[in-house]
Amino acid sequence: MLKIALVFLTGLFFLSLRPYCCGCSNILVVPMDGSHWINMEIILRELHIRGHNITVIHSAKSWYIPNNSTFYTSITRRMMEDEADKNFYNKMVLKVMECRKSWTFMHTFCQNDLIGSMLGQGNKILAGATAEILDDPVFIKKLQDTKFDLMLTDPGLPIGALLGSYLKLPMVFNVRWINTGEAHFTIAPSPLSYVPVSGSELSDQMDFLERTKNLLHYLHNLAQQHFIINPHYSDLLQRHFPPGSDLMSLQLAADIWLIRTDFVFEFPRPTMPNVVYIGGFQCKEAHPLPAELEDFMQSSGDHGVVFMSLGTLVSALSCETMEAIAAAFARLPQKVLWKFVGEKPSSLGNNTLLVKWLPQNDVLGHPKTRAFVAHGGTNGMYEAIYHGVPVVGLPLFFDQFDNILRLKVRGAARMVEAGSLTEESFLEALKDVLETPSYSNNMKRLSQLHQDLPMSPMDTAVFWIEYVIRNKGAAHLQAAGFSLPWYSYFCLDVAVFFIIITAAAIWASVTAYRNLFCHKSRRKRKAE
Ligand SMILES: *[C@@H]1O[C@H](CO)[C@@H](O)[C@H](O)[C@H]1NC(C)=O
Ligand SMILES: *[C@@H]1O[C@H](CO)[C@@H](O)[C@H](O)[C@H]1NC(C)=O
Ligand SMILES: *[C@@H]1O[C@H](CO)[C@@H](O)[C@H](O)[C@H]1NC(C)=O
Ligand SMILES: *[C@@H]1O[C@H](CO)[C@@H](O)[C@H](O)[C@H]1NC(C)=O
């Protein structure tokens, strides 16, 4: 009897160890290139381990997405990257610096205009690429015959959302941005009194002027979305989708939104039942460093190491700025590890090591790392939070200003303007972050909160992806509000109804009173 029970229990044990797999599904993936791919790849690896069959559609000229992967089947189509200009980001940085010289109230609008025109051009290319796919019956037939169970996509490129809708697949978004802006503003109610619009460089504590600015930013984005970005898709939607379809409603039909946000970082705000938060899901424990780097880290003694990296896409800072940074580093007692490509600055100190590439996560997780000098890309910020390393931010464009601001508000970062950076100002910020314990303590507190979860963000992501596959969608989590016209959404029709009733009642009583009064006074006159 005992034996049987034991066998049964061991059986149960092994069953529970076996990764749960819902019949091993076919998953179609349309990722985004660049740093977004890092976020997608890590989920795909996990899905592959759980036995799913993964097919990725990407550009043949993709910068990051390999076409010979061992864990997915690759289909190459023309996409954005084919026409993208590698120098684009450098030009963008220069334009943003130009914007930031103008009046503070205006420079965020100037930056927003840059992003708007970039999104306009990008979406024009994307709409063309999507039309090419939908107009190719052989390709579409091939996709239909494969019988995919799910579309997993980063809706920063709407190709995935459009293709998923067209193929009528259940859809999961791995998202922070959709093609028009921050995902929350599309999916969840966003009271502008305390939810800052992305790009506005505002926090959740806004005075009157700041709330005005926030509203203007919201309207600015809305105008860009309606007049610059989404019109590129109207022809495509007319030809391939039921009449009356628009891009926004196709995007809103996604079953689950895995939003790459954690409220340790993002300001708390309203959300929706089909939104799942997976911010920081790419973070992991640090592995030991290569021997050379480890020696360098140890050689820093008690002072520790400052780590600087400005991300993958940019090498646009001027020589003078680089020299100023190098000179400031040379005056620190710490050692400095600088991920650097290009010509070596002449003012480089002997405490600074330049490296072309290094394992960022492992360096941030190293006990000797004291501060992170970063441009404020989201992935880097979450890694810094995970490992509790305070940040000196040198934001260059896009959401980087907002990201650094979020850590600054929590007392875990300092921001330095790249455009007006001098040796002294940079050194002052560095020393402040290195020598004031509150920066490090605040960041450690964020790290602790970030990791205190019932289930890891990665397991959460995989659970919800498999949930959508198992249940063939999650329509029951969709809020009804999206299908309402705007005047019903805000109950304006009801408000108008009440105003009319009230006005009628007032009019009726006034008339009645006047009649009565006139009647009486007439009678009075008669009596006289
Ligand atoms: C996996 O997906 C590919 C399409 O990319 C398909 O050809 C293949 O049949 C699928 N394998 C299984 C086991 O379903
Ligand atoms: C994969 O990409 C390389 C270049 O990156 C190219 O030479 C090769 O032909 C591609 N292979 C396939 C199967 O598309
Ligand atoms: C894919 O191709 C690249 C070169 O094009 C090569 O370095 C890499 O090892 C290949 N990967 C696999 C998994 O075959
Ligand atoms: C590094 O430079 C400082 C002054 O710039 C000097 O005092 C020190 O000896 C140098 N250290 C080494 C190891 O060269």
Tell me if 350 CB under 6 Å of ligand 3.
no
Give me the pLDDT at residue 375, please: 93
User: Which of 75, 140, 146, 149 most suits a substitution to test ligand 1, by most atoms within 8 Å of the C-beta?
Assistant: 146
Query: Cα dihedral sign for 341, 338, 266, 388?
Result: positive
Taking CA atoms only, the protein residue closest to ligand 1 atom 8 is: 146
- Ligand 3 nearest atom to the CA of residue 70, by list position: 13
- Residue 276's beta-bridge partner residues? 258
Taking CA atoms only, the protein residue closest to ligand 3 atom 9 is: 68
Q: Is 275 helix (H, G, I), strand (E, B) or coil?
A: strand
Tell me if 26 CB under 6 Å of ligand 1.
yes
Q: Residue 146 C-alpha to ligand 1 middle, in angstroms? A: 7
User: Which of 21, 26, 139 most suits a substitution to test ligand 1, by most atoms within 8 Å of the C-beta?
Assistant: 26
Taking CA atoms only, the protein residue closest to ligand 2 atom 1 is: 67
Q: Residue 68 C-alpha to ligand 3 middle, in angstroms? A: 6
- Alpha carbons 199 and 404: distance in angstroms, whole number: 12
Shortest CA distance to 465 belongs to which of 19, 17, 44?
Answer: 44
> Which of the four CATH numbers 3.40.50.10490, 3.20.20.70, 3.30.1490.190, 3.40.50.2000 does domain 21-281+456-483 have?
3.40.50.2000
Taking CA atoms only, the protein residue closest to ligand 3 atom 1 is: 68
User: Which of 67, 69, 76, 79 most suits a substitution to test ligand 2, by most atoms within 8 Å of the C-beta?
Assistant: 67
Tell me if 67 CB under 6 Å of ligand 3.
no
Query: Cα dihedral sign for 141, 142, 145, 151?
Result: negative
Q: What's this model's pTM, rounded to 2 decimal places? A: 0.90
- Alpha carbons 162 and 27: distance in angstroms, whole number: 16
Domain ranges of the chain: 21-281+456-483, 291-451
- Which ligand neighbours the alpha carbon of 143 most closely? 1
- The one-letter code for the residue type at 398 is F
Shortest CA distance to 445 belongs to which of 405, 402, 412?
Answer: 412
Tell me if 451 CB under 6 Å of ligand 1.
no
Token pair 């993958």: residue: 312
- Ligand 3 nearest atom to the CA of residue 66, by list position: 1
Q: Supply the CATH classification number for the domain 291-451.
A: 3.40.50.2000
Each of the 528 residues of the chain gets a pLDDT tens digit; together they read 445 554 444 444 444 444 444 468 999 999 998 888 999 999 999 999 999 999 999 998 888 899 999 999 999 998 866 555 667 778 888 888 889 888 888 889 999 999 999 889 889 999 999 999 999 999 999 999 999 999 999 999 899 999 999 999 999 999 999 988 899 999 999 999 999 999 999 999 999 999 999 999 999 999 999 999 999 999 999 999 999 899 999 999 999 999 999 999 999 999 999 999 999 998 999 999 999 999 999 999 999 999 999 876 666 688 888 899 999 999 999 999 999 888 889 999 999 999 998 999 999 999 999 999 999 999 999 999 999 999 999 998 889 999 999 999 999 999 999 888 999 999 999 999 999 999 999 999 999 999 999 999 999 999 999 999 999 999 999 999 988 999 999 999 999 999 999 999 999 999 998 888 777 777 666 666
Q: What residue ranges in 39-126 does DSSP mark as E strands? A: 53-58, 73-76
DSSP notation for 112-145: HHHHHHHHHHHHHHHHHHHHHHHT-HHHHHHHHH
- Alpha carbons 306 and 392: distance in angstroms, whole number: 10
Shortest CA distance to 77 belongs to which of 153, 146, 136, 156?
Answer: 136
Token pair 């690759």: residue: 74
Q: How many residues does the chain have?
A: 528
Q: How many CB atoms lie within 10 A of CB 120?
A: 16
- Which ligand neighbours the alpha carbon of 52 most closely? 1
- Ligand 1 nearest atom to the CA of residue 75, by list position: 5
- Alpha carbons 337 and 293: distance in angstroms, whole number: 9
Residues with CB under 6 A from ligand 2: 60, 67, 76
Q: Residue 351 C-alpha to ligand 4 middle, in angstroms? A: 8
Q: Residue 288 C-alpha to ligand 4 middle, in angstroms? A: 28
Give me the pLDDT at residue 13, please: 47
* First and final C-alpha spacing in the chain: 115
Q: Residue 162 C-alpha to ligand 1 middle, in angstroms? A: 22
- Ligand 2 nearest atom to the CA of residue 61, by list position: 5
Q: Name the token pair of 465.
A: 């992806």
Taking CA atoms only, the protein residue closest to ligand 1 atom 13 is: 53
- Which ligand neighbours the alpha carbon of 329 most closely? 4
- Alpha carbons 384 and 340: distance in angstroms, whole number: 19
Q: Decide whether 21-281+456-483 matches 291-451 in CATH topology.
A: yes
Q: Residue 256 C-alpha to ligand 2 middle, in angstroms? A: 33
- Alpha carbons 108 and 114: distance in angstroms, whole number: 10
Q: What single-letter DSSP state applies at residue 226? A: I
Tell me if 74 CB under 6 Å of ligand 1.
no
Classify residue 429 as exposed, middle or buried by CB count within 10 Å of its CB (0-12, 13-18, 19+). Answer: buried
- Which ligand neighbours the alpha carbon of 73 most closely? 1
- Alpha carbons 96 and 112: distance in angstroms, whole number: 10
Give me the pLDDT at residue 2, please: 47
- Ligand 3 nearest atom to the CA of residue 68, by list position: 1
- Alpha carbons 290 and 235: distance in angstroms, whole number: 54
Q: What single-letter DSSP state applies at residue 273? A: T
